[in-house]
Chain A
Amino acid sequence: MAELTAKRPVSVPVMADLAARGESPEILFWVGCAGAFDDRYKRVTRAFVRILDHVGVNYAVLGMEESCTGDPAKRAGNEFLFQMQAMTNIATLDGYGIKKVVTACPHCFNTIKNEYPALGGNYEVIHHSTFLQQLINEGKVKAEGGESFKGRRITFHDSCYLGRANDIYEAPRAVLEVLDADLVEMKRCKTNGLCCGAGGAQMWKDAEPGNKEVNIERTEEALATLDGNADVLDNLRGVESTAPALPAGSNHGGSVIAVACPFCMTMMADGVKNKEREQDVQVFDLAELIASAEGLNA
């Protein structure tokens, strides 16, 4: 690990301040409610901001002016509340003349990109996985000088609202590639990816009666894939082993379930905890992995 010579405070630019100075950012970072309030996902927000700051992107956030995109309301059938939220947010964004939005939340991403235009909100919206991929392609992020993930086993869990909903499968994988880790795919990946169980407003309610929680089913698949545990994989529905068994003691630093969505983060982390595997399997967002590999944490 590179020697940390110094750290400096990051002052996150707020849109209202920029506007007061007559400035406009190149890109607006839409933080999302999870990114702003969820203790675990706040770390992702902070990691992403470190990257933005490090590469010198001209960005801003709405700060207190941001409000829920309305995604959970819309998925739950409350179209009225959704449109109230959407129009309020559109008024805010348009008031600042925002053209381009980046967000780490696939739900915010999908809603602003696909559902705001019908209500008059037209922006170029990109998900942080695509944004990070661009930074890597441009050579602005090299994933050097920080924590090494070389040889560590990582599996990426597709978010439904990034993958099937918007056909983004390669960007998060391209981001992980740069870590030079041992990437393994779950059998149910990409278009066939299994939901973490939180979409469609499930995040806010108990599951209907059944025989298993969705996040447990998915976590078992992820853990068995990371472990190369063929027996467990065979017992999961329709899943076969693809990764070779992990020799004991070969995975220093532990395996990683990589996610790119705040709800997937919660569900997978809960699943790992439920399976009592927190000591050797961690759940990280792409931004955290990159910030860490780039040595930006302070």
Chain B
Amino acid sequence: MHFSIQNIIFLLVALAGFGLFAWQASRIRANVLTGRDRDMSGHVNERLWKTLLVAFGQQKMFKRLTPAFLHLIVYVGFIVINIEVIEIMVDGLFGTHRFLQFAGPAYSALTGTNEILGALVIVAVTAFWWRRNANVVKRFTGPEMRAWPKMDGNIILYVEVVLMVALFLMNTADLKAHQLQNLTMPGAFPVSQFLTGLLPDSIPTLHALERVGWWAHIVGILLFLNYLPSSKHFHIIMAFPNVYFSRLIPQGQFSNVESITHEVRAMMDPSYPVPAPATNPDGSVVAPTPFGAKDVNDLAWTNLLNAYSCTECGRCTSVCPANITGKLLSPRKIIMDTRDRMEEKYNAPLIFSPALYGAAAKHDPQEQLDKENHTLLRGYVTPEELWACTTCNACVEACPVNINPLESIIEMRRFLVLEESAAPNALNAMFSNIENNGAPWAFSPSDRFNWADDLFVAEKA
């Protein structure tokens, strides 16, 4: 153990990195908690099992094999290489060098796996970059994929390559220094052993390069950690709680609006006891919440959690029947808009600001937006998008991390209909048909049983 000023610097850097992240995380938590209450407690085993399958097991990724395998490499690389980050943390704090080497063959297995995964991650990330930038995957385009989401997608890939290069620099320099001094290097280095020729033969230089690689890797990770809240890459953390708190009920089941239930019951039965409105601690009545959602805080907190879990892959949009046939609706846009609006209205993360999108790039056509009442509904999402939804659940089914754009769409439709009476005329006609005829079409209720007239069945011999 060589305790030195380096360890103190490392401690400070690590504290700063994790502290800053904790601060950002608390601000995001506050954003999510501006959403409406929704009880997602209970069913712990079922939820854990689902998290194991969908989040840890990447179950839904495997609907599309090529990206599933590429993503699996980067994901497993992330998980396994992070075991080495634990070693880096301990080494950094206590001045040890490769402290896990006591594990012997297991350490060789770990370092060897890390090296192979590191190389595969570079290959996979290169493939991702090509898919993203050579216009081969249509779902990476679309009106919501503006300057920032595009740049963000590439920044993540570049950072991952830099982290892997730092890892190889550290290992190769360390290995070569050991070799030149005829020392046994703990661990196995199936990739770095071929790279030693690239580095100089001076032992002090190799020690310096090893330190450069070591510091670049860990500082890179801490910087990346603090970049996450500004990025779609936040999904590497948020996917887990998002899947855990996702729905367990059938996809076809839409939420019941309790407040309306009380009203309707009271209307049908005058003796029905409507619960007294909630009161504030000072005794004043809590202002009633609107029906449906006009702004982000009218959505449930799970819908807001969804927005931070989205990695903008566009699978939802690519299977949306409305989007496929050229309508404005894009489920991914609804989710991205929700996050943007939260960060505009409440806490913004460190790096991202909506200004990064560039002027007038929010929505096309611009004239549909209400620039004065800049809420989620009308300020970001237009009624035209919402009314194009067929509620088919294809987007919900497609999302690898169980985001549910449909819930948000329905909440905003509810606001349009119940608070603004702003349904399309044809739907208003349908509503009045149901009210007057008990059917969505303008048929007379007295004809409802006519289908049974003159009905015969063949007598089978």
Chain A residues in contact with chain B, CB under 8 A? 2-10, 12, 14, 31, 33, 35-38, 42, 45-46, 49-50, 53-54, 61, 63-64, 66-68, 70, 72-81, 83-85, 87-88, 91, 110, 113-115, 118-119, 145, 160-161, 164-167, 191-195, 197-214, 216-218, 237-238, 295-298
Output the nearest chain B residue to A161 by Cβ-Cβ distance. B252
Size of chain B's interface in residues, with CB distance under 8 A? 77
Output the nearest chain A residue to B269 by Cβ-Cβ distance. A87
Chain B residues in contact with chain A, CB under 8 A? 63, 249-254, 256-257, 260-261, 263-265, 267-268, 291-292, 318-319, 321-322, 324-329, 384, 387-394, 396-397, 410, 412-418, 423-424, 426-427, 429-431, 434-435, 438-441, 443, 445-452, 454-461
Output the nearest chain B residue to A78 by Cβ-Cβ distance. B417
B263: min CB distance to chain A, Å: 7
Contact: B410 with A199, CB < 8 Å? no
A63–B90 Cα distance when bound, in Å, is 76
Chain B residue contacts of A49, Cβ below 8 A = 452, 455
Contact: A6 with B252, CB < 8 Å? no
Given contacts A63-B448, A201-B427, 13 further A-B contacts (CB under 8 A): A10-B452, A35-B451, A63-B449, A67-B439, A114-B253, A115-B254, A194-B394, A204-B427, A205-B427, A207-B327, A208-B329, A209-B328, A210-B322
A113–B249 Cα distance when bound, in Å, is 12
A161–B391 Cα distance when bound, in Å, is 9
Contact: A5 with B461, CB < 8 Å? yes
Question: Which of A9, A54, A217, A298 contacts B325 (CB under 8 A)?
Answer: A217
Chain B residue contacts of A31, Cβ below 8 A = 451
A298–B292 Cα distance when bound, in Å, is 50
B455: min CB distance to chain A, Å: 5
Contact: A79 with B390, CB < 8 Å? no
- A70 touching B457 in the complex, CB below 8 Å, given contacts A198-B390, A204-B440, A217-B324: no
Contact: B397 with A191, CB < 8 Å? yes
Question: Which of A5, A78, A164, A203 contacts B392 (CB under 8 A)?
Answer: A164
Contact: A214 with B322, CB < 8 Å? yes
Question: Which of A36, A198, A295, A298 contacts B451 (CB under 8 A)?
Answer: A36
Output the nearest chain A residue to B138 by Cβ-Cβ distance. A237
Contact: A197 with B459, CB < 8 Å? no
Contact: B448 with A66, CB < 8 Å? yes
A239: min CB distance to chain B, Å: 11
A209–B383 Cα distance when bound, in Å, is 12
A30: min CB distance to chain B, Å: 12
Contact: A77 with B418, CB < 8 Å? yes
A197–B412 Cα distance when bound, in Å, is 20
A10–B390 Cα distance when bound, in Å, is 37
Contact: B328 with A208, CB < 8 Å? yes
A114–B251 Cα distance when bound, in Å, is 10
A64: min CB distance to chain B, Å: 5
A218: min CB distance to chain B, Å: 8
A81–B1 Cα distance when bound, in Å, is 74
Question: Which of B261, B387, B456 contacts A298 (CB under 8 A)?
Answer: B456
Contact: B441 with A8, CB < 8 Å? no
